């Protein structure tokens, strides 16, 4: 099969022929129809993820058709249209038994713990626990965007963030995750303040329901701007980018007893990131993490997509072939772009 491969962290990847994957007894091989280009893939290429061994094929946000099935799989067969959360759970640990597959103790992640979906085929573990059926009237590009960014944003806003109608929600960083969060929060009846340095990203945020926008490239103190717009601070704020600056701005922009959800990864040379804990203590803030979404919790989100309340298809702003993926991956470090870029292998 053809796949995007990199031999060294941070050095150019290339498209080459590699061996086709084989399904594990509990897994499947999926023929990839669409896969998203995500900032997490860029972090992996940069060497920020300790699970990656070289050489490596990135890609974790995918949809396609089941090609081969392991002997122990009971719920899926070749030809099924599927997508999958980026966290593939084992189905048998304590976290999985509690329904928390997104924090499985023995999780695997395509594109991180093993070769991913920037390829014609990808192997996925524990298929009966992790696969999600893609409706026949849903495009593979839309389904691919659900697996990481949209599902992650849905859980961060609805489940972890506990958004309520009428609340102010601030979203820091309006890439794929951030724009998804804007759309989901607005559809939930919240008033959204979108924060980004890109005029195009803020334009899309307005289209997807943001009531107010803050241009972080022209605003010296974005947290103060959010507090001013919301008359005291957001009830819920998300760092959808993942940087010390956006994390601090998200926390500092909250009102008393507000809720911060950290969605974007926070790589650091020291392994820790400074957080304004004095404000968290004084205002009794909640600081929460959010890590994907378990496959069994997809149905409510899929129903909102089916009825048109949520439109993840609108987030797909570019489609590229596999040969263009290496350059697009490298460009995410300096120009992450707005919306979701879909690769069609």
Q: Are strands 132-133 and 81-83 parallel, antiparallel or unpaired?
A: antiparallel
Cα(140)–Cα(33) distance, integer angstroms: 6
- Of 146, 150, 215, the C-alpha closest to 184 is 150
For residue 198, give both structure tokens. 């890109």
247-261: per-residue pLDDT in tens? 999 999 999 999 999
Cα(204)–Cα(210) distance, integer angstroms: 9
Write the DSSP symbol of residue 217.
T
Q: What is the dihedral of CA 93, 98, 102, 108, to 10 degrees?
A: 10
pLDDT of residue 17: 98
pLDDT of residue 338: 66
Provide block-wise average pLDDT over 10 residues at a time, the chain (345 residues): 97 97 97 93 91 96 97 98 95 96 96 97 97 94 88 96 98 93 98 96 96 96 98 98 94 98 84 89 97 94 93 90 96 74 94
Q: Are strands 28-37 and 62-69 parallel, antiparallel or unpaired?
A: antiparallel
Half-sphere exposure of residue 80: CA atoms within 13 angstroms, side-chain side: 19
pLDDT of residue 80: 98
Owner of token pair 């048109």:
308
pLDDT of residue 335: 67
pTM of the predicted structure, to 2 decimals:
0.90
pLDDT of residue 337: 60
User: Per CATH, which fold does 2-149+293-344 belong to?
Assistant: Quinone Oxidoreductase; Chain A, domain 1 (3.90.180)
Q: How would you class 282 by CB atoms within 10 Å of its CB: exposed for 0-12, middle for 13-18, buried for 19 or more?
A: exposed
Cα(175)–Cα(249) distance, integer angstroms: 17
In CATH, the architecture of 162-289 is 3-Layer(aba) Sandwich (3.40)
pLDDT of residue 219: 95
* H/E run at residue 83: strand 81-83
The number of beta carbons lying within 10 Å of the beta carbon of residue 279 is 15
Contact 134, 146 (CB under 8 A): no
For residue 12, give both structure tokens. 């150019």
- Of 298, 285, 234, the C-alpha closest to 87 is 298
Residue 272 neighbours by CB under 8 Å, 6+ apart: none
Partnered with residue 283 across adjacent β-strands are none
Cα(304)–Cα(82) distance, integer angstroms: 18
Positions of CATH 3.40.50.720 in the chain? 162-289
Positions of CATH 3.90.180.10 in the chain? 2-149+293-344
């Amino acid at each position: 099969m053809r796949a995007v491969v990199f031999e060294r962290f941070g050095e150019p990847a290339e498209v080459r022929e590699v061996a086709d994957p084989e399904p594990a007894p509990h897994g499947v091989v999926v023929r990839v129809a669409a896969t998203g280009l995500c900032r997490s893939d860029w972090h992996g290429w940069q060497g920020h993820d300790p699970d990656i061994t070289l050489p490596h094929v990135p890609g974790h946000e995918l949809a396609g058709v089941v090609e081969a099935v392991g002997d122990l799989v009971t719920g899926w067969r070749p030809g099924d249209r599927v997508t999958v959360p980026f966290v593939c759970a084992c189905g048998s640990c304590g976290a999985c038994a509690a329904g928390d597959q997104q924090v499985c103790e023995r999780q695997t992640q395509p594109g991180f713990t093993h070769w991913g979906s920037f390829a014609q085929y990808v192997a996925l573990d524990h298929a009966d626990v992790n696969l999600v059926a893609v409706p026949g009237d849903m495009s593979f590009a839309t389904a691919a965007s659900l697996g990481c960014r949209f599902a992650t944003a849905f859980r961060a806003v609805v489940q972890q963030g506990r958004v309520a109608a009428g609340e102010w929600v601030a979203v820091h960083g309006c890439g794929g995750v951030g724009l998804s969060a804007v759309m989901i929060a607005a559809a939930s009846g919240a008033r959204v303040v979108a924060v980004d340095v890109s005029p195009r990203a803020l334009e899309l945020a307005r289209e997807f329901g943001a009531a107010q926008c803050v241009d972080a490239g022209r605003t010296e103190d974005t947290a103060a701007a959010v507090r001013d717009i919301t008359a005291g601070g957001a009830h819920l704020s998300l760092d959808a980018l993942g940087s010390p600056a956006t994390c601090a701005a998200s926390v500092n922009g909250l009102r008393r007893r507000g809720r911060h959800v950290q969605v974007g990864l926070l790589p650091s040379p020291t392994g820790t990131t400074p957080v304004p804990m004095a404000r968290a203590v004084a205002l009794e803030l909640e600081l929460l993490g959010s890590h994907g979404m378990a496959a069994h919790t997809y149905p409510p989100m899929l129903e909102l997509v089916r009825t048109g309340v949520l439109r993840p298809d609108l987030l797909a702003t570019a489609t590229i072939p596999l040969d263009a993926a290496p350059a697009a991956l490298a460009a995410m470090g300096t120009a992450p772009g707005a919306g979701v870029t879909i690769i069609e292998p």
